[in-house]
Amino acid sequence: MSQTLRGPLTPSAGVKASIKEAFQLSWPITLSLLLHAGYRVNDQYWVKDLGPDAQAAMGLTSFLLILNFAFISLLSTGTLARIAKLAGAGNWDGLRQTFCTACSFALVWFGAIAVAGWFAAPMLVRLSGGSGAPADLATDYLGTIYLVLPMIGFKPLIDGVFFGLGNTFVPMCLSVLSVVLNAILNPVMIYGWWGFPALGIEGAAWSTGISRAVSAGVGILVLLRWFDLGTSFRQSPTFQELKRICRIGGPVAFSHTAYALCFTMILKTSVAPLGASVQAGLAVGFNGIESLSYCGMMGPAMAAASLVGRRLGAHDYRGAKYGAYACMSMSVGFALCTSIIFLTAGTVLSDFYTDDATILAQAVLYLNIVAFSQVMTAADSTMQQIMAGAGRTLHMAMLNTIGFISRVPLAWWMSVSLGFGASGIWWALNIANFLKLGAIFMLFRRMRIFSPLTARTDD
């Protein structure tokens, strides 16, 4: 069944049509992201029988994995925005050029990061405040993640191409394939089931790499065969198109890097002194639970990036506005439900991951506090995705970086200087999120993305 590339996107019929399109884009992305969060859930669940040190190791690597995603987002974000605008304008030759350039550069870029990351893994774990057995296990896991980074990185890149084309169903199906395969491989490779060697915590990393590689490979075949992109690689990648991709994705990648490094500093300066139980509680709360709620918020937000990019490419500013605000409403509504669940069912959710009463208490404390920032995070994330879909990422990334940096001294001050301990760290994050939301909102209003007088399109 072939889906041929069409002409320019037709203008939306109005509010109802834009809301319908926003919903049709949002739910598959949300499910895809929830399935991707299954990697963290799978890893956190299956390593629990390796002991508390393994759970603490997962906590140490949480934000280093986000750092890895920053390198991936350089290409995935820029490619999504470029594909969306070119698809909206019906420029299929340009779209194929973007696809060819992104895939060609990804081979070089992901390979370079893999080599550098493998050598840097021990240093990165130490910077996160790791020591002793948890640090050794974290180094083993992170080093293996870097070895398989080229396999991991292509999945979000291919997802970005599909999102830009306005197709979110195929990435959802690919995510189902990937996560199911990951769930099967995790116990096999960690504990050595069915005659396989027991690789311990490294097995979780190998499982992630293999499952994502299979999914990305199927996605590329679908794009080449059924989305008329089979002629893309008859073209040569161009430096000009790479510049366009990186101009959009570069600020976002820098912002993700700042987030990961700043939280790594928080782990070292504020979380690590509180002991392994707080580290493990953070791993349970963040990896196992909050990551799921974040995916629910980001589904509509990423749908907004796809919708806005394609509608602006077709010069349909009203359709872009209506669709973006529909996505915002869905994201904030989901976040409100999440806040209630965190406050009322934190113990039930956390108990799934640990039998240790101390770790359980720390995980519940984390969830009870971050519950108050879920709606702020949803609104912030959606506005940022709208800006990314419009190709306006530079000033957004600058504000993000300032906000992330402010978290480090604020967390230390409330945790250590004021003596509030772990609760002080989590409340500091809430305060910083509130201030950053205000700055992003003012920037969003100033940009006037949905005005034809201020909208910017790339050639």
**Contact yes or no for 82/244 (Cβ under 8 A):** yes
Residue bearing tokens 């205000």: 438
Domain regions of the chain by residue span: 15-447
**Residue 116, H or E segment:** helix 92-127
Distance CA 270, CA 213 (A): 36
Burial 274-290 (b: 16+ CB within 10 A, else e): bebbbbbbbbbbbbbbb
Amino acid 38: pLDDT = 67
Is the pTM here over 0.85, yes or no? no
Angstrom distances, CA of residue 392 to CA of 13, 91, 213, 432: 26, 20, 31, 23
Count CA atoms within 13 Å of residue 85 on its CB side.
22
Amino acid 1: pLDDT = 40
Residue bearing tokens 């925005």: 81
Query: Is pLDDT above 50 for 232?
Result: yes
Query: Is pLDDT above 50 for 457?
Result: no
Amino acid 283: pLDDT = 80
Nearest to 63 by CA among 261, 234, 212: 261
Q: What average pLDDT is seen over the chain?
A: 86
410: its two tokens: 């604020």
- Residues in the chain, overall count: 459
**Contact yes or no for 422/366 (Cβ under 8 A):** yes
Query: Is pLDDT above 60 for 309?
Result: yes
44-62: per-residue pLDDT in tens?
A: 677 777 777 787 777 777 7
Residue bearing tokens 């300032």: 402
Query: Is pLDDT above 60 for 187?
Result: yes
Q: Which amino acid is at 118?
A: W
88-126: per-residue pLDDT in tens?
A: 888 888 888 999 999 999 999 999 999 998 898 888 888
Residue 167's contacts (CB-CB under 8 Å, 6 or more residues apart) are 3, 227
Instruction: Classify residue 12 by its DSSP letter.
Output: P
Query: Is pLDDT above 50 for 459?
Result: no
Instruction: Classify residue 392 by its DSSP letter.
Output: -
Residue bearing tokens 């002194």: 273
Query: Is pLDDT above 90 for 338?
Result: yes
**Contact yes or no for 376/294 (Cβ under 8 A):** no
Q: Quick one: pLDDT band at residue 237, thresholds 50, 70, 90?
A: confident
Query: Is pLDDT above 50 for 137?
Result: yes
384-399: per-residue pLDDT in tens?
A: 999 998 889 999 999 9
Amino acid 431: pLDDT = 95
Backbone Cα Rg of the chain: 21
Distance CA 71, CA 307 (A): 24
Distance CA 387, CA 87 (A): 18
Query: Is pLDDT above 70 for 156?
Result: yes
**Contact yes or no for 306/159 (Cβ under 8 A):** no
Question: 27 exposed, middle or buried (CB, 10 Å; 0-12, 13-18, 19+)?
Answer: middle
More confident position, 38 or 179: 179
- Of these ranges, 47-51, 318-322, 372-376, the one predicted with the greatest mean pLDDT is 372-376
Q: How many CB atoms lie within 10 A of CB 430?
A: 17
